[in-house]
Amino acid sequence: MENLLLLLPLMMLWFPPPKTAAIAEVPAIIVFGDSTVDSGNNNRIPTLVRSNFRPYGRDFMGGKPTGRFSNGRLATDFYSEFYGLGPFVPAYLDPLYGIEDFATRVCFASAGSGLDVATSNIQSVIPLWMQVRYYKEYQTRLIRYLGEEKAEHTLREAAYVISIGTNDFIENYFANASERKKQFTIGGYVDFLTGLARDFIKELYALGARKIGFTGLGPIGCVPLERSMNSVTRGSCVEEYNKAARDFNAKLQTTIDELCAALPGIQLKLAPLYDFFLYVVQNRVIYGFENVEFGCCATGTFEVGHTCNQWSPFTCPDARKYAFWDAVHPTEKMSQIIAEHLINTTFAQFK
């Protein structure tokens, strides 16, 4: 007993910062998705969907615009920190990082991507099937780097984060002249998307993934871009979009329940974003936000990507007072609040 007490201070030096009690070992975080989690992959591909210029990243470490659609870090960066893996998740295509970094944290996401390959094609970004191809290449590199046994352990025990689906509605289905709208009712499109989500999760499982958190959609009708384009009541959330998000989440939950029953050993969870996001927006004072309707960048109504740049005189001086950074994406502070909720409900629950 005495010996154990003597050992305690030493052990604290070796272990990652204390979090909640008895959290499972998570040796790596592996990310798929869209601009909500892309940490810079789009910088390396020919697309206009970019954010590797000021004022993006102005509150990131070193004030560096990395390609994250944020003034600072993303929710996935906070998950990584929570797991004790480091303060951010590097992009797989970023030449500054190698397998020694990716062995514990790696991001395959691409801003503008969707579950539907037609969505990814709109802006020539990395479709989900290509993200999987990169992941397979990563597996090969990881085995070479760690050896087969250790690599398999990492791939099995890693936390897999999937954050995708918003663009399928905003960029694709609800866009003018959408082919998908001619093909599908909204209910039919939700079924189509959740079918694609099911196939994707099954593929990850077959490749060895077990701990998977699929982030549900937020209230996509409440992002500044949609609020300002709301033709019914300008400035308020677009209920049609919010309903699509809720329908998607409900159908995804059913899909996830089915997969949990069918796939032995899977720890698959829907990370519940929608209600909490709306709660923060509706209770902004509690969280210290002055503005939850406009983005901090430029006029805050439509600017995202190249239209959010350093030449706008209107960008807010303190992004911590805003829930949204640009017309679509949350500020670092909002991401941190959301990350904490999704860690509590989902990412700290893996066994």
Q: Which residues are designated catalytic?
A: 35, 326, 329
For ligand NAG, the closer of residues 43 and 123 by Cβ is: 123
Q: Which of 192, 302 has the CB closer to ligand NAG?
A: 302
β-sheet bridge partners, residue 268: 212
Q: Is the dihedral of CA 299, 52, 137, 104 positive or negative?
A: negative
CB of 43 to ligand NAG, least distance (A): 26
Could you tell me which of 327, 252, 346, 284 has the C-alpha nearest to residue 51?
Answer: 327
- How far is residue 27's CA from residue 299's CA, in Å, rounded to a whole number? 42
* Residue number with CB closer to ligand NAG (203 or 340): 340
For ligand NAG, the closer CB: 129 or 279: 279
Please tell me the distance from the alpha carbon of residue 263 to that of residue 28, in angstroms, as a whole number. 22
Name 37's bridge partners.
none
Residues 128-167, mask of contacts with ligand NAG (x by CB under 6 A): ----------------------------------------
Q: Assess 344 for contact with ligand NAG (CB under 6 A).
A: yes
The 292-331 site mask, x for binding ligand NAG (CB under 6 A), equals ----------------------------------------
Say whether residue 210 binds ligand NAG (CB under 6 A): no
Chain positions 88 to 127 lying near ligand NAG, rule: CB under 6 A, are: none
Nearer to ligand NAG, 210 or 341 (CB): 341
Give the integer Cα–Cα distance in Å for 113 and 149. Answer: 33
Between residue 10 and residue 49, which ones bind ligand NAG under the rule CB under 6 A?
none
Reference 192, options 206, 177, 180; nearest CA is 180
How far is the CA of 211 from the CAs of 156, 168, 245, 292, 304, in angstroms? 8, 25, 24, 33, 33
**Closest listed residue to residue 36, CA positions, set 342, 258, 299:** 342
Q: Number of residues in contact with ligand NAG, rule: CB under 6 A?
A: 4
Q: Binding of ligand NAG at residue 341 (CB under 6 A)?
A: yes
Cis status, amide bond into 90, omega within 30 of 0? no
- The only residue of 176, 232, 286, 311 in contact with ligand NAG, by rule CB under 6 A: 176
Stretch that binds ligand NAG, among 2-10, 263-271, 310-318, 338-346 (CB under 6 A): 338-346
Q: Give yes or no for a contact between 308 and 297, defined as CB atoms under 8 angstroms apart.
A: yes
∠ CA 146-149-151, nearest 5°, is: 45
* Candidates 42-50, 88-96, 104-112, 340-348; binding stretch for ligand NAG (CB under 6 A): 340-348
Given the rule CB under 6 A, which residues bind ligand NAG? 176, 340-341, 344
